[in-house]
Amino acid sequence: MSCAVNPVSPVVNGTAYCTINVFAKEKFESVIQFYSKILDLGRVSTEGDVTQSVLLSNEEMSLKIKLTIDDSKDKEFQGQRQGFLDNRKTADWRSMMGEYVTYTVSDFLVLENLLIEFGVPYQCKPNDISPSQIYSLDPQGNLVGFASTKNSISTILPKPTAVSSALSSKTISRVHSSTDLGYAVETGLNYPSLPIINLTRPQRKRSIAVMTSGGDAQGMNSVVRAVVRTAIFKNCQPFAIMEGYEGLVRGGPDYITPLKWEDVSGWNAIGGTNIGTARCMKFKEREGRLLGCFHLIQAGIDALIVCGGDGSLTGADLFRAEWPSLVSELLKTKKITQEEAQTYESLNICGVVGSIDNDMCSTDATIGAYSALSRICEAVDYVEATAASHSRAFVIEVMGRHCGWLALMAGISTSADFIFIPEEAVNPGTWRDEMCETISRHRKRNKRTTIVIVAEGALDRDLNPVTANDIYKTLVDRLKLDTRITTLGHVQRGGSAVAYDRVLATLQGVEAVNAVLDSVAGSASPIITVSENKIMRKSLVDSVKLTKSVASAIAAKDFGKVLSLRDPEFIEHYQNYLAINAADHYDPQLTADKRLKIAIVNVGAPAGGINSAVYSMATFCLSQGHKPYAIFNGWSGLTRHEGVRSLDWDMILGWQTRGGSELGTNRDTPCSTDIGMIAYYFQKYQFDGLIIVGGFEGLISLHELERSRDVYPGFRIPMVLIPATLSNNVPGTEYSLGSDTALNSLTSYCDILKWSASSIRGRVFVVDCQGGNSGYLATVADLAVGAHASYVPEEGISIDQLMQDVSNIAEAYERMDECGTETKETGKLVLKTTNASKAIDVEKLSQIMTSEAGGKFDARSAVPGHIQQGGNPSPIDRTRATRFAIRAVQFIEDNQMVVNKYRHANEVYDDAFDKVMRSTAAVLGVKGSGIVFSSVRKVYDDETDVKKRMPKVVHWQSLRSVADHLSGRKRVVET
């Protein structure tokens, strides 16, 4: 094949100068753009008219792009390019090309995103998970190589060659988040560290306003903080519109206020909304919207981010649609000038959903929903304790006018006996009988408490409300139960946001700014949503329309449609609740020939949600007709004491809400105990499936069992791992049970420290975070609490970075003094994962910072320790544990046909059998926007760094850039 790349000297990597020949005029500029962006080269000179050449260069290399029009050569290269494309999946491109040039790059994440942006094909070597080389095609058809090492056989990564606030880690994630503020942006040294603006191209500074509207929700302040600081980072002027649409209608500096960086310091920990919210009838009329338009133009604002519910977002989209006509009317009445009309001819709007009801279609969670759910679960946990003392029944009324999400998730989280939600209207003639039958069955099995949760919008099929009083009277009159009503009311809206809502609000606020800056005149308004772990943009008007259709379907008594309008996760949760609540109180769902014996074991350190998973797995098994077995005290408990016992409903009562591990857990693996004895017990009890709930040791356990199938037929059964560890370091998933519980504990601890630090001038707390070799906990807590910096094992602690952080913290206090006490930040925090440095613990780190601060501040160490592991599991961990456990049981059911023919000892376990059986041992994981089952062999071989006990790809790496930018931290990269 041909090569139009001519190196000056025969080099393999690190080419200093070469010429690229282009043979078609229409490809000339695209080749220039390709190499300019990919290699970060600037245009130095242009020569000639017919035979053009452009010199591209930076400090390390130069590249000449030369145009020589030659149709035959161009056709030859197009044929060559097509050959590469035809063999993209079947051949190694390197074997098809005799010569090519390879360039050294330090950041494959940036490279891959640029290749995707150009729409060019590429191959990763040795694999897609952890490549050391990438090969692509330039627009002319040349094969171009990019290596992360200085030569083709080296395994040593090069040092970064630039100073950037975002190139923050030696472990690069290949999953780029759209919420990154900028992953290759040079920033200044001062606090806050902001991008260095190119003044050679002056542009009108954009102004972005943010408002909170409708009912308040925990996390709204985090949205405002993220919008303000992201706007400043993007060289825009942020404004706050006070009191929602009311402030927009009233206008003036008291209601449309510019904000500075320091104005939003410490807002993450504050509940409600600091910029206010109010209902505004005037804005529903065109005259009110006309005033809003005038006031925005007066303030120079051309983009608006609205955080609120469906009503607020409907008003925002109507405002955007009417904007051109409003501007035209203001121009005709001479309230604005022709220049202003042209400058503000369109209004870019983006919606962020803040609603504790979680009633917006097209998103898994709305800001504030999980905080409200946390308040409900906490209250129910307290109520159940007193209910057990007196053997009482409690009717708990929760919010949810048209959406039963809070009641449903609280029902799952607290093992409530019965729930009432708007989506599943009850039969007016039978609901009392059904409720009483269920509660009676529970009471006959020695359950001392009765919890019924009712959403405020619950109704029957005749659209009559089902009230807490109706339920109370039924329980008293029919079952003679000592019953109380507890209406939680606005307690659900109160208090600080949980960690999840703070992080969700922050990432959505960042993405909202990106969205309005990306929008063009006439484009549809976006709404920022989340699907599993992925932040996404969707159509605002479509989402609102879908949400409003729920109320219409209820009014039309079309309850089948009501449930179908909810997202699939809602329906799945509802079906899960029905299944685990049925347990073995009713006839099994499966016929006798399909019922299985399923074992469950806990492996690794304790984590919130482990007991919830065991409870859900056991109750779902019972409802299906399976027999669940518990292996107590891990593998050592099995081999030494034959710790196997079948689980029944009476035994596991209350486990859904408990922390720790009722089964007992340790870090032993099958090979470290006695794998032969384990196989013996598997055959003795004739287990048909195995569910492991645990952390990295759980992954190792599953790997060892799967690799031993050829020797031990007892392991030829479906096996699945549910990741559970606060470190969130299990390969194959982006979320592990227990990490949310630990994050909430750490966030609460840090909030208390910040308030303490605010009382003493110049106090900084350095907090030790658990996590082993994973910096996940410290990174996400950094985002949640607004810490100044975090140190993680993936990066270590460099002296230069430490000194830069000390300098920035000192400068932050100086700026705080200059701004006055009104903007005083509530203390400073620095987070450190224990293993970020083995030489410097938190005590030494705080001493170093105090010494280097020169009296400008003093640092103290704080060690929360095992507080991060303990406590009751969070609602997220409870509900996800239920979801994961049921999916795991279904995985075992689905794979029975595959394993049955290979389970017998007399079968030869050859390569063909092994290939079929691989998929039956899997890691359950959340990846992107879905739940997936990944073969443990693939996860272990391709995705796992066994020595470090970490995934090879750090999926949360992009969050570090966001956390650094929003704290104003200057990132120093070794040159």
Query: Confidence class of residue 374 from pLDDT cuts 50, 70 and 90?
Result: very high
Q: Out of 196-205, 327-336, 511-520, 610-619, pick the least confident.
A: 196-205
User: What's the confidence (pLDDT) of residue 165?
Assistant: 30
Most confident of 67-71, 177-181, 201-205, 295-299: 295-299
CA distances from residue 300 to 39, 197, 295, 345, 584 in whole angstroms, order as listed: 38, 21, 9, 12, 65
Using the predicted structure, report yes or no on whether residue 693 has a pLDDT greater than 60.
yes
Name the residues annotated as catalytic. 357
Half-sphere exposure of 341 toward its Cβ, with a 13 Å CA cutoff?
Answer: 15
User: What's the confidence (pLDDT) of residue 112?
Assistant: 74
Per the prediction, the chain carries an average pLDDT of 87
The residue with greater pLDDT, 79 or 617, is 617
User: What's the confidence (pLDDT) of residue 456?
Assistant: 95
pLDDT tens sequence across 28-67? 888 888 888 888 777 766 555 445 788 887 756 778 888 8
Q: Out of 52-66, 287-301, 386-400, 839-853, pick the least confident.
A: 52-66
Does pTM top 0.85 for this prediction? Answer: no
How remote is the C-alpha of 687 from its chain's centroid?
36
Interior/surface letters 874-913, b for 16+ CB within 10 angstroms, e for the rest: bbbbbbbbbbbbbbbbebbbebbeebeebbeeeeebeeeb
Strand ranges of the sheet holding 858-862, from the earlier edge strand across to the other edge = 789-791, 828-833, 763-769, 858-862
> Does the fold of domain 591-737+873-948 match that of domain 369-493?
yes
287 contact partners, CB below 8 Å, separation of at least 6: none
pLDDT tens sequence across 860-869? 999 999 888 8
**Per CATH, domain 207-364+498-542 is 3.40.430.10:** no
**Per CATH, domain 591-737+873-948 is 3.40.50.1820:** no
433 contact partners, CB below 8 Å, separation of at least 6: none
**741 closest CA partner among 413, 453, 489, 962:** 413
Q: How many helices (H) and strands (E) does the chain have?
A: 30, 33
Domain at 742-870, CATH homologous superfamily? Phosphofructokinase domain (3.40.50.460)
User: What's the confidence (pLDDT) of residue 154?
Assistant: 33
CATH class, domain 369-493, is alpha beta
Query: Confidence class of residue 9 from pLDDT cuts 50, 70 and 90?
Result: very low
Cα distance between residue 586 and residue 902, in whole Å: 34
**In this structure, are residues 879 and 409 in contact, taking their beta carbons and an 8 Å threshold?**
yes
Structure tokens at 586: 């009713």
User: What's the confidence (pLDDT) of residue 906?
Assistant: 63
Q: Out of 119-133, 316-330, 633-647, pick the least confident.
A: 119-133
CA distances from residue 468 to 204, 284, 432, 483 in whole angstroms, order as listed: 57, 34, 13, 11
Using the predicted structure, report yes or no on whether residue 150 has a pLDDT greater than 80.
no
Most confident of 3-12, 199-208, 270-279: 270-279
673 contact partners, CB below 8 Å, separation of at least 6: 635, 636, 638, 639, 640
Most confident of 86-95, 118-127, 662-671: 662-671
**667 closest CA partner among 719, 605, 721:** 605
**In this structure, are residues 207 and 303 in contact, taking their beta carbons and an 8 Å threshold?**
yes
Task: Burial-class residue 264 by CB neighbours within 10 Å (0-12, 13-18, 19+).
Answer: buried
Residues 870-886: what's their mean pLDDT? 94
Residue pointed to by tokens 């000339």: 28
Using the predicted structure, report yes or no on whether residue 826 has a pLDDT greater than 70.
no
User: What's the confidence (pLDDT) of residue 323?
Assistant: 93
Q: What's domain 5-147's architecture? A: Roll (3.10)
Q: Out of 245-249, 296-300, 501-505, 815-819, pick the least confident.
A: 815-819
Ranges of each domain in the chain: 5-147, 207-364+498-542, 369-493, 591-737+873-948, 742-870
Task: Burial-class residue 779 by CB neighbours within 10 Å (0-12, 13-18, 19+).
Answer: buried
pLDDT tens sequence across 223-272? 999 999 999 999 999 999 999 999 999 999 999 999 999 999 999 999 99
Structure tokens at 405: 């999400």
Cα distance between residue 216 and residue 496, in whole Å: 12
User: What's the confidence (pLDDT) of residue 17?
Assistant: 66
Q: Out of 41-55, 129-143, 484-498, 902-916, pick the least confident.
A: 41-55
Residues 546-553: what's their mean pLDDT? 87
Cα distance between residue 687 and residue 969, in whole Å: 54
Using the predicted structure, report yes or no on whether residue 768 has a pLDDT greater than 90.
yes
Query: Confidence class of residue 129 from pLDDT cuts 50, 70 and 90?
Result: low
For the chain, the residue count is 975
Pairing label, strands 450-455, 483-487: unpaired
